Amino acid sequence: MNAQPQIFGTYLFDGAAAQRGYALNKMCYSFNSAANREAFLAGEEGYMRAYGLNEAQAQAIRARDVLGLLHAGGNVYYLAKFAGILKLDVQDLGAAQTGVSKDEFKARLVAQNNQPDHL
Amino acid sequence: MARILGALTTSHVPAIGGALARGAQDEPYWKPFFDGFKPVRAWLDEVKPDVAVVFYNDHGLNFFLDKLPTFAVGAAKQYVNEDEGWGIPSLPPIPGIPELSWAIIERLVASDFDVTTCQEMLVDHAFTLPLKLFWPETFQTIVTVPVCINTVQFPLPSAKRCIALGREIGEAVAAWNSDKKVVMVGSGGLSHQLEGERAGFINKPFDLAFMRSLIDDPEWAAQYTIPQLVEKTGTQGVELLMWLAARAAVPGAVREVHRNYHIPISNTAAGTMAMAAKDLIATE
């Protein structure tokens, strides 16, 4: 068995996270439907209560706090649907999580072209 | 017997769907990505596949955490694409081919892959974008078998296991009593990470080595555990499992038809490959 790496700034969405984040992720999964997205925007607090979010999850939703949502058990595939409601794309999310502006985040991505071609 | 033409692989960022809907293929940001498909389409125009077996990962359209299969095989007459929450226009339903789906399911279960079977299955961008990219005008003429591999919730199946899955599916297709021509499609990767303080992670040398390995040494990536693959490619880069399964579904050696690699599309190192099966080489 190979040793498993500890990876900086990386959250593996495992069974513990899947249990912790179930209500939050279920709410975000509901945002596949346009009607549900509208219902959320029409009354965020009531919508969160209907899905049974805990206080940490609700607070992270209120604050649009991406890292807080991850810590509260959010899975990025579902959180992306919440971000969609806010008209945010994954580069907005990346900038928010890494503490840089969106333009800086995009520039960082382009700069990855300078990596070597060979391992 | 059915004939396996080869494998096609590509990244599947949702923003590609937005670019297609806007007709942005020739914009400077998008052109290096979309141009990578032109030689692949030229090859497809020559070899003319009838069927695509599509290895992809669902992003929370069909499957939620209430019931989340590790491996799921579609067995429907058609697959419906729906809004994933971003309002990107959805495609009309994509035709299925239950006869081949069941041949694959029977072979998989007989070889100890206890898969979930789906007679209704919504398909998301990871399934539809490759069809639109490889067959922009004619994607509805290709009949499909979706094979969904879980990359949402850990533990994920190992690289070795995904290769074994692909190999059995290749055997099932090769044994299928049909005159159809089949291509394997792998949708996902390459290196990228959406979440956490490491968001934006890209590993160009690993991606390029991985692409080369599909031609020269298709089990190279199986030396790594899933957490090691996450470390090397990012939490979503691990979607390269789809490429491994698609490549493994082509028996024997392959010839590279084309490859393209471009950083970045959205947060992703975008890769595209087309590989022709060895027995196809013999007849060329």
> pLDDT tens digit string along B51-73?
999 999 999 999 999 999 999 99
Residue B281's pLDDT band (boundaries 50, 70, 90)?
low
- Whether residues A50 and A83 share a domain: the answer is yes
| Residues recorded for chain B | 284
- Whether residues A76 and A96 share a domain: the answer is no
- Whether residues A67 and A97 share a domain: the answer is no
Q: Using a CB-CB distance cutoff of 8 angstroms, which residues of chain B are in contact with residue A2?
A: 224-225, 228
- Whether residues A29 and A78 share a domain: the answer is yes
CB A110 to CB B209 under 8 A?
no
Residue B88's pLDDT band (boundaries 50, 70, 90)?
confident
Give the total number of structural domains in chain A.
2
Shortest distance between the Cα of A42 and any Cα of chain B, in A, equals 16
Two tokens at B247?
A: 């490549």
- Is B12 annotated in the active site? yes
pLDDT of B203 > 80? The answer is yes
Cβ B10 vs Cβ B183: under 8 Å: no
- Whether residues A43 and A96 share a domain: the answer is no
Position A104 in a domain: yes
Two tokens at B120?
A: 């209704």
Residue A1's pLDDT band (boundaries 50, 70, 90)?
very low
- Whether residues A30 and A51 share a domain: the answer is yes
Residue B283's pLDDT band (boundaries 50, 70, 90)?
low
Question: Across the interface, which of A26, A108, A115 has its CB nearest the CB of B64?
Answer: A26
Position A28 in a domain: yes
pLDDT reported for residue B86? 87
pLDDT digits (tens, 9 = 90+) for A12-57: 999 999 999 999 999 999 999 999 999 999 999 999 999 999 999 9
CB B227 to CB A4 under 8 A?
yes
Cβ B87 vs Cβ A83: under 8 Å: no
| Domains defined along chain B, listed by start | 3-283 (3.40.830.10)
Which residue range(s) make up the domain with A48?
15-87
Q: List the alpha helices (DSSP H) in chain A.
A: 15-20, 22-30, 34-42, 44-51, 55-62, 66-71, 76-85, 90-98, 102-111
Q: Using a CB-CB distance cutoff of 8 angstroms, which residues of chain B are in contact with residue A76?
A: 194-195, 235-236
CB A93 to CB B199 under 8 A?
yes
pLDDT reported for residue B280? 65
Residue of A nearest to B225 (CA): A2
Residue B93 per-residue DSSP state: P
Q: Interface pTM (ipTM) of the complex?
A: 0.95
- Whether residues A83 and A98 share a domain: the answer is no
Report the share of chain B in percent with pLDDT over 70: 98
Position A57 in a domain: yes
- Whether residues A76 and A43 share a domain: the answer is yes
